[in-house]
């Protein structure tokens, strides 16, 4: 071990609480220094019983569960870290549909969807989604991961020489999809339509394809995208639109068709991206677009073309989810979810810095990344599990607690969770003055 390596390891041991995720991302030398240091960092956190991540659950993502930390500790918590918004992941009818699909089709698809991996259950899911959104001339392309949807959709639609304009708060899958496409990339300030128009004026012409990428609900900020004005500007300047409805498909809008429905632009969006791991309660995702775009994307989205098709169990479960979401149960659970989110926000409003709006992604800002490890440990030990995010997922010194409200939480659970947040805010100094 060199003197430098020894010095770095000593620094990690003595100042572990000051380290953040981004500090292990770079290394210009040939050795594995950043990998070894990160491994040592995790070991230190486990030794000090402060490693709160990757805690195993032994059951479904219900509103309360037991965490089993890597150091062997078990903690019972209220679960606000899972985006199982409508509780469908453990609904008995959904589980039964998944079991039936496994019995009929087996465990995996065992092939790319364009070769032999497409089953009749996949076609059922495509038709169910087309019926759910109910726009003429539209089709569905299925992907095995929500992340892959943006990678595949953007890189198939955009070519070198084209342009991608993204909201600055866009999910990493959008950013990496734009990089993969080879198109020119630019960002507009979050939900700033004047800045977006500046970029469109400078970049749009009669010869260049331009794609604007935004989200229905921004999961790092908990607010809605300004889709109505984005679509208006796209039409004005001849650009195309991609809306990622990961946290809003099946939830937002009167019929669960997302923020696009809520803001009256569903028919005008070119690429509607959805993720099956959120309100659907499964895994995977899809693009909803004009059928000619879908036919092309099925072949030219490389992460779809060169991946195994969506597994039959999840596919069968998703068919049942759409049936439930499109009926009285969907209406009732969407209504209850929005009521729960409103109630939970009311318990925190004016006491801590909250995200704007009324969405079910509730953000509480606490500031410095240096608080993250101790804060997350404190919350779990008090009986609350959340999704804490920090730089580089959000701007530096704008770390925040992210909480996902579901239709299945009780008022008693939400009240207890809010009490824990306020207790932590006092201890870690992020109560509003």
Q: What is the pLDDT of residues 76-87, one digit of tens each?
A: 999 999 999 999
3-state secondary structure at position 58: coil
Full set of structural domains in the chain with CATH: 56-79+330-427 (3.90.1150.10), 93-325 (3.40.640.10)
pLDDT (0 to 100) of residue 290: 97
Asked if residue 12 has pLDDT above 90, the reply is no
**Residue 5 pLDDT more than 90?**
no
Q: What is the pLDDT of residue 33?
A: 83
Residue-level pLDDT at 105:
96
- Numbers of helices and strands, H then E, in the chain: 15, 16
Residue 62 pLDDT: 95
Q: pLDDT tier at 8 (50, 70, 90 boundaries)?
A: low
* Rounded Cα–Cα distance for residues 259 and 226 (Å): 9
Give 419 or 59, the one with higher predicted confidence.
419
Q: Is the pTM of this model over 0.85?
A: yes
Whole-number pLDDT of residue 3: 59
How confident is the model over 195-199, as a mean pLDDT?
Answer: 98
pLDDT value of residue 31: 83
Cα torsion 133, 136, 142, 147 to 10°: value is -60
Between CA 292 and CA 141 the distance in angstroms is 11
φ/ψ region of 154 (left if φ > 0, alpha if ψ in -120 to 50, else beta) reads alpha
User: What CA–CA distance (Å, rounded) separates 390 from 401?
Assistant: 9
From the centroid of its chain, how far is CA 317? 20
Length of the chain: 433
Distance, CA of 20 to CA of 95 (rounded, Å): 39
Beta strands in 265-386 (DSSP E): 271-275, 285-290, 361-367, 384-385
pLDDT one-digit tens code per residue, 260-269 = 999 999 999 9
**Crossing angle of helices 120-133/312-325, nearest 10°?**
20
């Amino acid at each position: 071990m060199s003197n430098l390596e020894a010095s770095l390891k000593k620094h990690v041991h003595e100042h572990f609480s000051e380290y953040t995720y981004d500090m292990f991302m770079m290394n210009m030398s040939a050795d594995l220094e950043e990998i070894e240091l990160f491994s040592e960092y995790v070991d230190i956190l486990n030794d000090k019983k402060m490693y709160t991540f990757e805690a195993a659950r032994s059951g479904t993502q219900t509103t309360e569960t037991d965490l089993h930390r890597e150091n062997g500790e078990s903690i019972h918590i209220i679960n606000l870290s899972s985006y199982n918004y409508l509780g469908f992941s453990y609904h008995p009818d959904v589980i039964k549909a998944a079991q039936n699909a496994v019995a009929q089709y087996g465990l995996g698809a065992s092939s790319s969807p364009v070769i032999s991996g497409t089953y009749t259950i996949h076609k059922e899911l495509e038709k169910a989604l087309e019926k759910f959104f109910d726009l003429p001339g539209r089709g569905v392309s299925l992907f095995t991961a929500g992340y892959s949807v943006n990678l595949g959709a953007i890189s198939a639609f955009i070519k070198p020489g084209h342009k991608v304009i993204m909201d600055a708060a866009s999910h990493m899958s959008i950013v990496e999809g734009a990089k993969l496409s080879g198109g020119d990339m630019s960002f507009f300030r979050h939900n700033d339509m004047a800045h977006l128009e500046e970029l469109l004026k400078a970049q749009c012409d009669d010869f260049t394809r331009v794609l604007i990428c935004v989200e229905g609900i921004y999961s790092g900020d908990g607010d809605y995208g300004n889709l109505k004005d984005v679509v208006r500007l796209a039409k004005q300047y001849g650009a195309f639109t991609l809306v990622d409805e990961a946290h809003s498909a099946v939830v937002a809008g009167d019929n669960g068709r997302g923020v696009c429905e809520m803001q009256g632009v569903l028919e005008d969006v070119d690429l509607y991206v959805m993720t099956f791991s959120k309100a659907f309660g499964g895994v995977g995702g899809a693009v909803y677009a004009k059928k000619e775009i879908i036919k092309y994307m099925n072949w030219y989205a490389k992460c779809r073309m060169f991946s195994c098709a969506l597994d039959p169990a999840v596919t069968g479960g998703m068919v049942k989810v759409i049936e439930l979401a499109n009926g009285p149960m969907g209406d009732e659970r969407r209504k209850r979810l929005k009521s729960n989110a409103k109630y939970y926000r009311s318990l925190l409003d004016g006491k801590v810095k909250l995200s704007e709006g009324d969405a079910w992604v509730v953000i509480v800002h606490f500031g410095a990344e240096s608080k993250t490890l101790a804060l997350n440990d404190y919350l779990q030990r008090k009986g609350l599990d959340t999704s804490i995010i920090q730089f580089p997922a959000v701007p530096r010194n704008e770390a925040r607690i992210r909480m996902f409200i579901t239709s299945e939480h009780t008022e008693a659970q939400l009240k207890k969770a809010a009490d824990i947040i306020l207790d932590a805010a006092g201890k870690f100094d992020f109560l509003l003055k």
